[in-house]
Structure 1
């Protein structure tokens, strides 16, 4: 794979107007990252700076080496929920070591092209994944909307009014940024009693430092961190690849999924070396970025770089940003993320597709585990697909005028799900001494199909019939020649009639 420098440059800059939109979109994202990174740090049981430094490092590095321009990666809940026991039992240094190993695994996954497994994720699963995330994003805002004063509700309503009203007047500045600035100014000037970013946790001061995790380099350490690293790497890649597909659809463009796998790995390694936790792509922040005009790598880079500037220079001011402003932004994200067409499509789409979509939503929302929801959807899709394909099968029997020659014409797909029907089609008593099985309209997919053909041929020959099988396509011929016991494709040429 060759590196195209001109194409890479276009992923950073196209023209001045695009660059301005990217910079403003990145600023909006950086502000929205702060409370989430603090919240994810709390979930993982670490200091807030671990999540914040991770968000800085991952966003900056993925902008440089990722495969999906405009997508935002940072510390995420999907990874944070996995590492709590590791931090509790062994300490934060083991978290850093596990994050480095997580990155190495993701780089290896990219080299092995494991991103291709996304081909088995159906559109129904992706829609369910998106809807579940939209619901989770909204539910994550509920703690900020319970047991609070009327001022909070008023500010959230005002923020939503600004977010949806400003684009009707001008699109020169992202409306979420306008909402954050206006509500911050009102809150600070009038001393409105609402929760602020500073109430979420203590913001770090200064810049992160580069350091190797202080853990013994032994097999015992590897035994401790490997299970966590594997789970983190798998969940991180799954969420990143699904988010990349969603951003592809939103921007009507394509991305390099293999490069994204390696980029996620590199970003996580750098994050750990600077005292951060693991992370992956964030659908909520990516939607904020895209809807605010961010399209290139510059927007993601600005998100990370400006977040570092906010923490190192403007920390006291950032701590005074009212949480209702950020809640309004995230409610906008949840509304924009949810696939509202999927509700109407419940009646138009095939019932199996709707069941897969709803199952994915229910499992993700119930378990808060994205991987479990996607796995359930993919498994259900596979079951429904196998059931559908096994019905695309038929066997037609014709008998010659003299009753001596019976021909069975097989059509459709012969694989593990259809072998029972295949066998039953030959269980009728047949007095014809010559039996021809014509498979020119059939395809044998696996050893289960070959085994079914084997058993039919063996039984007919035990009953004294002369059997020949004709019409193999090349792929079926290859698998039969390789795995059949009683029948080879040489029968078709008259080499082994018995």
Structure 2
């Protein structure tokens, strides 16, 4: 009964809407998959087969319902050298290994690392993706006639005005069908999906990659597989978090890691390239009403149906219709409130958001932008916490004893401030260091405490450290030297 309830909740809620949103996504996947195949230097069918396989498998075993995973640009750019130097079969082998590494990541629960990605980094990531999605459409809008611009404008008008009539049918799907029908019946000259590359005419076939199964092959593919696995997981987990926010639901990030891994593992045997979650197509799906696994499953299956059975019709879809959809996705994806918040949010948050956006747009590498944002967030956080350290002192009436009261967090960013706060030259006979309101986090903090005690001793003071909590005391016992005999301290120093 419990299994049935879960299946019904994840697959059978509002099935007509889920099916229509899946159809819409399938149409949007075709030019993307072809384009990413060209980026990777492989035949278009490699990207199309990959998009079918990854979408279907993640629909079944992934951790985020309604999220679309397929062949992507972020992984495609990582394959170029491998394909150029070693050939297509090594790419398939690398995709299989990529999947295995992601499955291991899921087993190790690396999805929990998402908790270290701040809201500012997420906003920067989203804005950068929106900009990249828009920039990716520019090649379809350059060196073209006025007919293309008109079709894009009409397409956008349909997308935004059709919902005023009804929301039962995705307006983006209506736009694609209407513009395609108009182009076919009028014979207007426009760039079409068929101009992007040849579509496959047969189903994918299971085959083991034709590579030597030896250590030399592993040395060749492992660096590529590891990089693709890391970038793919990063983009997938970030996209899952965005879909969580859009749908006000949660998802299993560790299951998503493993699910992406299973999808890529299977795809490598079906003649496809590695991929991951796609925020653009995921936004299309959610905006069109997709909320369950059925929409993702439909997108993958209908994609294969389109390219194998309806290929002759699909080739006639004008790129202007798909460009209009992707521009809508770009506009919907961008976090417009983030612009209004530039003046009201803390400066550090704004810097992190802008840095993430700029690095991603400048490099075209999502992982570099997110890494830059996370590092900046860590630096700003450490600096903020370091400022919370407070040191006060109290001298006894007879002037022979001084007590220092340390409050706050002592770690690598605040340890120097702690050392500088102590008066060594004017130290009395006895010095008490009360750390009952402090916590020592790392060996740098323990080293600072050692420096303080040993410096005071060199100036003739008797030093007593009071109030160490259990965790700090354990750190001092393991890594501290001030409580050890002189000979043992010298030995530890060397």
Task: Give TM-score scaled by structure 2 length.
Answer: 0.96
The residue that corresponds to 2:20 in the other structure is: 24
The residue that corresponds to 2:60 in the other structure is: 64
* CA drift at 1:463: 2.2
d(CA) in 1 for partners of 2:2, 2:62? 14
The residue that corresponds to 1:491 in the other structure is: none
**What SS does the aligned partner of 1:64 have?**
helix
| Contact 1:11–1:69 (Cα < 8 Å) also in 2 | no
* CA drift at 1:265: 0.4
d(CA) in 2 for partners of 1:4, 1:464? 72
d(CA) in 2 for partners of 1:475, 1:392? 20
The residue that corresponds to 2:271 in the other structure is: 275
d(CA) in 2 for partners of 1:219, 1:8? 43
| Contact 1:124–1:356 (Cα < 8 Å) also in 2 | yes
The residue that corresponds to 1:304 in the other structure is: 300
The residue that corresponds to 1:141 in the other structure is: 137
* CA drift at 1:431: 3.9
**What SS does the aligned partner of 2:409 have?**
strand
Structure 1 residue runs of 5 or longer lacking an equivalent are 489-498
The residue that corresponds to 1:214 in the other structure is: 210
Asked if 1:253 is matched to 2:249, the reply is yes
* CA drift at 1:487: 2.9
Give 1:365-376 correspondences, 5 Å limit. 365-376=361-372
The residue that corresponds to 2:150 in the other structure is: 154
Aligned length: 484
The residue that corresponds to 2:173 in the other structure is: 177
The residue that corresponds to 1:339 in the other structure is: 335
The residue that corresponds to 1:10 in the other structure is: 8
The residue that corresponds to 2:385 in the other structure is: 389
Asked if 1:102 is matched to 2:98, the reply is yes
d(CA) in 1 for partners of 2:420, 2:217? 56
* CA drift at 1:397: 1.1
**What SS does the aligned partner of 2:399 have?**
coil
The residue that corresponds to 1:198 in the other structure is: 194
Asked if 1:114 is matched to 2:106, the reply is no
**What SS does the aligned partner of 2:114 have?**
helix
d(CA) in 1 for partners of 2:448, 2:329? 53
| Contact 1:410–1:438 (Cα < 8 Å) also in 2 | yes
The residue that corresponds to 1:328 in the other structure is: 324
**What SS does the aligned partner of 1:402 have?**
coil
| Contact 1:66–1:262 (Cα < 8 Å) also in 2 | yes
d(CA) in 2 for partners of 1:427, 1:117? 42
* CA drift at 1:428: 4.2
Task: Give TM-score scaled by structure 1 length.
Answer: 0.96
When the two chains are superposed, the root-mean-square deviation of aligned CA atoms in Å is 1.2
Asked if 1:426 is matched to 2:407, the reply is no
Deviation string, structure 1 residues 144-171 (Cα, Å, up to 9, x no partner):
1111111101110000000000111100
| Contact 1:65–1:259 (Cα < 8 Å) also in 2 | yes
d(CA) in 1 for partners of 2:410, 2:5? 46
Deviation string, structure 1 residues 177-204 (Cα, Å, up to 9, x no partner):
0000100110001011111100000011
| Contact 2:12–2:294 (Cα < 8 Å) also in 1 | no
Structure 2 residue runs of 5 or longer lacking an equivalent are 485-494
* CA drift at 1:270: 1.1
d(CA) in 2 for partners of 1:212, 1:422? 61
d(CA) in 2 for partners of 1:287, 1:367? 23
The residue that corresponds to 2:239 in the other structure is: 243
Question: Which stretch shows the higher mean deviation, 253-262 or 423-432?
Answer: 423-432
* CA drift at 1:115: 1.4
The residue that corresponds to 2:345 in the other structure is: 349
